Structure formats: structure tokens, C-alpha cells
């Protein structure tokens, strides 16, 4: 299979598995996602879309593809910094909006979150609980704008996040669709480079930005190249645990960790259950 000429869009030098798409597959993915967004907006009878812009690669790629689908006027970007967010990353988000020529707003969410924290001050000391408040506050604002402007809310979840449950229930996953939801993280980086996302944004370290210094890799205990590979071969691909360890040359613990994340987050991927009638 022919590969993109920019081999360095993989972060690690020696990933367990090369999941990059050929140039033809990249173009197909791009066209498929662009039509998906255009059709969804059309079918919903809406005027366009709303998207939270974080400066990260998932929202930046989704914004690029949405502008291709809907035009500049079709996308309203909202950057929503909290006090834990790195100002440089927030200015990356504004740069993305500016370069794409879309309407965008910057809404400081700290005061909104503080009013929630005040209701349960002890809960606010739990950084995960507090971080999830930032994430869910952004969902409230996205839908506020979507309702008022007759737009849909674009999600930015990818396959690795969806399968490992690496998202806040009813937070960043509270969206109307996930255009890049079938791409592993390696492929997100690769498609981003392909559609012209600036290199510094493609190569940055993924972070949920829920507390200072948080990174996806540190929290999951695995880098995305490893997560992608184990998902593709074992969870999605059905190869046995032992064969996966041999095939990818990864420790058994890494496979077990990914399986644990997938199993533990099953409740996030289904409708809330009710007892049988």
C-alpha cells in the first residue's frame, strides 16, 4: 500500500502497528466525512454547525472538514477556556478559527464552573469531578448556541477515545454526531496533516485539559500508538490476547489495560438501561 510522503506524522519512531492510510484512502475518508457532515446538517434542516475549539488535533481536524462541508458561514466555533487551560493552547484554538475564517467566540467558563463548585465545595476538591464540570459546561454552551441558531453540535470523538471511554459521559460526548469517530488516533493525525492543519498542531501532545499538566497518555498509562494497535488487532480485529502480544510485541499488561478500559466504559456507549417490562 502506498503511504503518505510525510512519514513523520506518527509520533513514535517505532509504533507497534502502522495504521496509516494510503493517499487514496485518505482522500476517500476526507470525502466521506465531508459528505457525512453536509448530509447531516441538511437532513436536520439546520443552518449549520457549532463546534468547541480547543486547539487540539481532534477539534482542529473536525473544524477543517466542517468548513469544507458547510462553508465558512456554516460553522460557529466556540473556545471555552477555564483557569486550568494553557493560554498558548487557547490561542492556538483562536488561530484555527481565524485561519478558517469562521465566526467564533471566546467564552471564559471559570465563573460558570465556580457557581457549580459553590453548590458542593467538597466535590470541587476532586479534580476529576471538577474537570468533568468544565467539560459538561461546554456542552451546555454548545447546545445553547445550537438551539438559538438552528445548528447541530459537532463532536470530535475518534475511535480510540470512543472504545476506551476516554471522554466525559454527557460532556464532550454530548453531541449530535462524531464525524471522525471511525478514525484511530494515528489516522486523525495523518488526515489532519493531509488537509493542511499546521504541523505544530498535528504533533502536539493530546490533553483533555481538565487539570493542569494532564495528558491522555499519562492518564491511560499507554500512548495512543499502542492503544490504537491493540484496539485494531485485538478488540476490533478479534486476534487472541496471546497472538496480539506476539504480533505487536507489546506487554500482556498493555493488552489487559486496553481491554479493561473498553469493558469498564461499556455503559458510556449505550443508552441508559431500564428494567424489562
Ligand X SMILES: Nc1ncnc2c1ncn2[C@@H]1O[C@H](COP(=O)(O)OP(=O)(O)OC[C@H]2O[C@@H]([n+]3cccc(C(=O)O)c3)[C@H](O)[C@@H]2O)[C@@H](O)[C@H]1O
**Residue numbers 154-213 binding ligand ATP by CB under 6 A:** 156, 161, 172, 206-209
Tell me how far apart the alpha carbons of residues 193 and 198 are, in angstroms, rounded to a whole number.
7
Cα dihedral across residues 109, 112, 118, 120: positive or negative: negative
Judged by beta carbon distances under 5 to 8 A according to partner kind, the member of ligand X, ligand ATP, Mg ion, none in contact with residue 186 is: none
Residue 2's φ and ψ, nearest 5 degrees, are: -75, 145
Tell me how far apart the alpha carbons of residues 47 and 149 are, in angstroms, rounded to a whole number.
7
Cα dihedral across residues 230, 236, 239, 241: positive or negative: positive
Largest CA distance in the chain: 57
Judged by beta carbon distances under 5 to 8 A according to partner kind, the member of ligand ATP, Mg ion, ligand X, none in contact with residue 132 is: ligand X
At 100, which helix (H) or strand (E)? Answer: helix 87-100
Binding segment for ligand X among 65-73, 85-93, 113-121, 159-167 (CB under 6 A)? Answer: 159-167
Query: Taking the CB of residue 87, how many other CB atoms lie within 10 A of it?
Result: 8
Q: How many chain residues interact with ligand ATP (CB under 6 A)?
A: 19
User: Considering the complex, what minimum distance in angstroms separates the CB of residue 18 from ligand X?
Assistant: 23
User: Considering the complex, what minimum distance in angstroms separates the CB of residue 105 from ligand X?
Assistant: 20
Site string for ligand ATP, 74-113 (x = CB under 6 A): -----xxx---x----------------------------
Contact 181/155 with Cβ under 8 angstroms? yes
User: Considering the complex, what minimum distance in angstroms separates the CB of residue 65 from ligand ATP?
Assistant: 13
Q: Which is nearer to ligand X, 16 or 155 (CB)?
A: 155
Residue 39's φ and ψ, nearest 5 degrees, are: -65, -40
**Residue numbers 41-70 binding ligand ATP by CB under 6 A:** 52-54, 56-59
Q: Which of 209, 8, 241 is nearest to 109 (CA)?
A: 209
**Residue numbers 213-242 binding ligand ATP by CB under 6 A:** none
Residue 166 in contact with ligand X, rule: CB under 6 A: yes
User: Considering the complex, what minimum distance in angstroms separates the CB of residue 175 from ligand X?
Assistant: 12
Residue 267 in contact with ligand X, rule: CB under 6 A: yes
User: Considering the complex, what minimum distance in angstroms separates the CB of residue 240 from ligand X?
Assistant: 26
Residue 54 in contact with Mg ion, rule: CB under 5 A: yes
Q: Cα separations (Å) of 53 from 128, 162, 235, 256?
A: 21, 19, 30, 33
Judged by beta carbon distances under 5 to 8 A according to partner kind, the member of Mg ion, ligand X, ligand ATP, none in contact with residue 59 is: ligand ATP
Residue 233's φ and ψ, nearest 5 degrees, are: -85, -45
Cα dihedral across residues 175, 213, 267, 65: positive or negative: positive
Q: Which of 68, 92, 176, 216 binds ligand X (CB under 6 A)?
A: 216
Cell output for 166: 476516554
For binding to ligand X (CB under 6 A), which residues are involved? 128, 132, 135, 161, 166-169, 171-172, 208, 210, 216, 219, 267
Instruction: Provide the annotated binding site for deamido-NAD(+).
Output: 136, 169, 176, 267-268
Amino acid at each position: 500500500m502506498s503511504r503518505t510522503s510525510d512519514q513523520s506524522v506518527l509520533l513514535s519512531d517505532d509504533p507497534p502497528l502502522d495504521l496509516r492510510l494510503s493517499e487514496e484512502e485518505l482522500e476517500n475518508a476526507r470525502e466521506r466525512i465531508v459528505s457525512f457532515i453536509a448530509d447531516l446538517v441538511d437532513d436536520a434542516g439546520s443552518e449549520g454547525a457549532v463546534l468547541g475549539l480547543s486547539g487540539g488535533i481532534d477539534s482542529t481536524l473536525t473544524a477543517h472538514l466542517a468548513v469544507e462541508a458547510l462553508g465558512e458561514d456554516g460553522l460557529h466555533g466556540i473556545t471555552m477556556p477555564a483557569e486550568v487551560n494553557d493560554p498558548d493552547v487557547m490561542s492556538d484554538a483562536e488561530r484555527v478559527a481565524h485561519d478558517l475564517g469562521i465566526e467564533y467566540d471566546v467564552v471564559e467558563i471559570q465563573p460558570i464552573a465556580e457557581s457549580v463548585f459553590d453548590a458542593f465545595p467538597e466535590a470541587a476538591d476532586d479534580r476529576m469531578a471538577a474537570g468533568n464540570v468544565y467539560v459538561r459546561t461546554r456542552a451546555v454552551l454548545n447546545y445553547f448556541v445550537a438551539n438559538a441558531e438552528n445548528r447541530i453540535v459537532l463532536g470530535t470523538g475518534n475511535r480510540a477515545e470512543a472504545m476506551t471511554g476516554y471522554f466525559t459521559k454527557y460532556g464532550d460526548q454530548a453531541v449530535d454526531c462524531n464525524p471522525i469517530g471511525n478514525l484511530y488516533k494515528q489516522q486523525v493525525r495523518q488526515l489532519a496533516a493531509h488537509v493542511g492543519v499546521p504541523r505544530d498542531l498535528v504533533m502536539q501532545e493530546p490533553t483533555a485539559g481538565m487539570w493542569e499538566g494532564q495528558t491522555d497518555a499519562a492518564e491511560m498509562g499507554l500512548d495512543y500508538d499502542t492503544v490504537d494497535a491493540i484496539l485494531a488487532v485485538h478488540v476490533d480485529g478479534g486476534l487472541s490476547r496471546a497472538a496480539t502480544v506476539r504480533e505487536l510485541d507489546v506487554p500482556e499488561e498493555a493488552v489487559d489495560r486496553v481491554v479493561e478500559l473498553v469493558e469498564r466504559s461499556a455503559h458510556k456507549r449505550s443508552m441508559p438501561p431500564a428494567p424489562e417490562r
